[in-house]
Structure formats: structure tokens, C-alpha cells
Amino acid sequence: MFLRTLLVSALLVASAPLALASEASTVPQNPAIDADGHLRDMKAALELRRDRRVSEADFIRMSLEPGTIVLDARSARRFGELHVKGAVNLNFADFTAESLAALVPDQSTRILIYCNNNFFNAEPFPKKSLSASLNVPTFTTLYSYGYRNVYELAPYLDATRTKLEFAGTQVPPRLAN
């Protein structure tokens, strides 16, 4: 009896990986998700991004040029508290082909982006994990939706000393530069 129990247990343990593999192969595919396409787009977008990170001075200059949109992809609450003056808000979670087309109908429009991790000394810009910084997924997602004229604010700026102008309910006091 003991040998029989031991043999059955050994067979069950040995066959478990086969059962799991069989079960995994029966999981239905989702035609609305393309992980390989996401990785292809991300790789291409990150290659483009290398040359699209701009200085504070260039960001300001570009933002003042006609046909440029400054996009803040943070939550509406954080945007209301503090944002770059003149920016428009579309929460990253709300990015769809339709919402982006409503905000930026022409995919060749120049879009400038920034995120929390571009600023310090301002509570409405809470620092995120380095690998979770919103700039990267915003850039790559815009790329996936066909927007290629995207530029990103590169430096880490003191919100009380930057030359960028802010708007919102919690604009930090300016210190002498």
C-alpha cells in the first residue's frame, strides 16, 4: 500500500508540468492585445526618444512656437494643482485613438511632454520610481498611436527656480535664480 501511494504521488508530481503546459495552451488568445507589437513600437520609440530629449531653454522656446502642444499626461487633480502654463491635460489612462485625435487631430503636430520626475520642490509633482516615470510610457504610447513629432523635457528642475512658468492652485513661490 505504501509503495502504491508513493508511486501515485510520484506520477502526479511528474505529470504536473505537463498538465500546466496543457492548461496554458488552452488559454484563449485576445485579438485586441499585441504584446509583440508593443515591444516593437517601444523599441522604435525609445530609439527616437534618444534625440528628442530637450533642455529647459529649448522646451520653453519650442512651446512658444505656433502649432506646438504641451501635453501633461498626469491626473486631472495633479494637473489642476500645478502644471506648465499653457499645457493641456489628457490623463495617460485615457489615451485612445479617439481621445488623442480629439486633442491633437494632426499627428505631425509637435507635442512636448513632461512629468513628475522633471521637477522637485513642488508637492503636486510627487517623484515616481525611476523606471515608472510617466515620460517614457507617454512617449512610447504616443509613438504607438502614430505621433512621431514628440519631444520630452530632459532635465530635473527645481520648481522654485525653473524658468518655466506654472499655473494651477499650488504654484510654488519663486526663488531668485
Cα 134 vs. chain centroid, distance in angstroms? 4
Return the amino acid letter for 35. A
Closest CA relative to residue 166, chosen from 102, 103, 98, 81? 81
Domains of the chain (ranges; CATH) run 54-167 (3.40.250.10)
Can you give the pLDDT at residue 124?
83
Q: How far apart are CA 107 and CA 85, in angstroms?
A: 23
How confident is the prediction along the chain (177 residues), in pLDDT tens digits per residue? Answer: 544 543 444 444 455 555 555 555 688 999 999 999 999 999 999 999 999 999 999 999 999 999 999 999 999 999 999 999 999 999 999 999 999 999 999 999 999 999 999 999 988 888 888 888 899 999 999 999 999 999 999 999 999 999 999 999 999 988 655
Can you give the pLDDT at residue 126?
82
Can you give the pLDDT at residue 130?
82
Can you give the pLDDT at residue 7?
42
| C-alpha cell, 96 | 485612445
Can you give the pLDDT at residue 38?
92
CA diameter of the chain? 86
Whole-prediction pTM: 0.82
How far is residue 132 from each of residues 82, 108, 129, measured CA to CA in Å?
A: 20, 27, 5
> Which residue has 504521488 as its cell numbers?
9
Can you give the pLDDT at residue 85?
97
> Length of the chain in residues, anyone?
177
Q: How far apart are CA 60 and CA 50, in angstroms?
A: 19
